[in-house]
């Protein structure tokens, strides 16, 4: 990991030591799964705050993952998956040998890591389709954004900001999205099989009432 880049982005020695451990997409995903508690709260924590508070949702996980990827020499790319009657999902994406993979933080097991085996971004996004559903059990994934390189936001200091980085997810949701399905197909979608739903919800951490 280029320590000079991590320092230039504003990370202190303790934070740089954590990023030093996140030397591959697999290790980044494991960190999100094992050391970051899923939190659907109304925050958009910077990577610094996420490392400190150890709580976050998909956008915050994608911001941290894209930062770790960048420090490993990959471009910090994220994309937004657009949903119907459901929350959007943001993942960090990367390439190996020209094939796409993804890193994601989610309360649902099927919306996390993807091996870099997908030839196109659309193929990658479609791999999430069967696992993407709303509380009614309806298949809800409808479209996706183009990959966004987060270096475009560097001037805002989002990596280490103590303020919420809402300008990034707002931008992601406002840009043009590519539809996945024609309307005539959407109207014929079946509800999720209960067994697949149970598998996706295995180990879910529910918010206390």
Could you tell me the residue ranges of all domains in the chain?
Answer: 3-200
- Contact residues for 117 (Cβ-Cβ < 8 A; gap 6+): 99, 101
What is the pTM assigned to this prediction? 0.92
DSSP line for 23-90? -SHHHHHHHHHHHSEE--SS----HHHHHHH-EE-HHHHHHHHHHHHHHTTS--EEEEEEESSS--EE
Give residue 135's pLDDT band: very low, low, confident or very high (50, 70, 90): confident
Mean per-residue pLDDT of the chain: 93
> Could you give the angle at which helices 13-21 and 58-71 cross, rounded to 10 degrees?
90
CA distance 54 to 43: 13
Assign domain 3-200 one CATH number from 2.120.10, 2.170.220, 2.60.40, 3.10.620: 3.10.620
pLDDT at 3: 66
How do residues 146-194 score in pLDDT, each as one tens digit? 999 999 999 999 999 999 999 999 999 999 999 999 988 988 888 888 8
Give residue 208's pLDDT band: very low, low, confident or very high (50, 70, 90): very low
Q: Tokens 């994934």 belong to which residue?
A: 141
CA distances from 122 to 70, 127, 145 (A): 22, 9, 10
CA distances from 121 to 58, 174, 208 (A): 18, 19, 36
How do residues 70-119 score in pLDDT, each as one tens digit? 999 999 999 999 999 999 999 999 999 999 999 999 999 999 999 999 99
Residue among 90, 67, 84 nearest 166 (CA): 90
Residue among 82, 200, 190, 191 nearest 141 (CA): 82
CA distance 167 to 158: 9
pLDDT at 194: 80
């Amino acid at each position: 990991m280029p320590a000079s880049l991590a320092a230039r982005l504003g990370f202190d020695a303790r934070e740089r030591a954590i990023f030093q451990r996140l030397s591959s997409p697999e290790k980044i995903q494991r960190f999100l799964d094992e050391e970051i508690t899923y939190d659907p709260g109304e925050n958009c924590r910077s990577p610094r705050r996420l490392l400190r508070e150890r709580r976050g949702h998909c956008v915050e996980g994608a911001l941290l993952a894209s930062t770790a990827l960048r420090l490993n020499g990959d471009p910090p790319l994220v994309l937004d998956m657009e949903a119907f009657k459901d929350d959007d999902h943001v993942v960090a994406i990367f390439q190996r040998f020209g094939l796409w993979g993804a890193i994601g933080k989610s309360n649902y097991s099927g919306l996390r890591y993807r091996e870099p085996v997908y030839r196109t971004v659309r193929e990658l996004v479609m791999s999430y389709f069967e696992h993407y559903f709303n509380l009614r059990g309806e298949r809800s994934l409808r479209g996706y954004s183009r990959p966004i390189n987060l270096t475009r936001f560097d001037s805002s200091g989002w990596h280490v900001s103590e303020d919420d980085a809402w300008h990034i997810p707002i931008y992601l949701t406002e840009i043009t999205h590519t539809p996945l399905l024609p309307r005539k197909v959407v109207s014929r979608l079946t509800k999720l099989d209960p067994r697949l739903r149970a598998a996706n919800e295995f180990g879910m951490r529910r918010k206390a009432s």
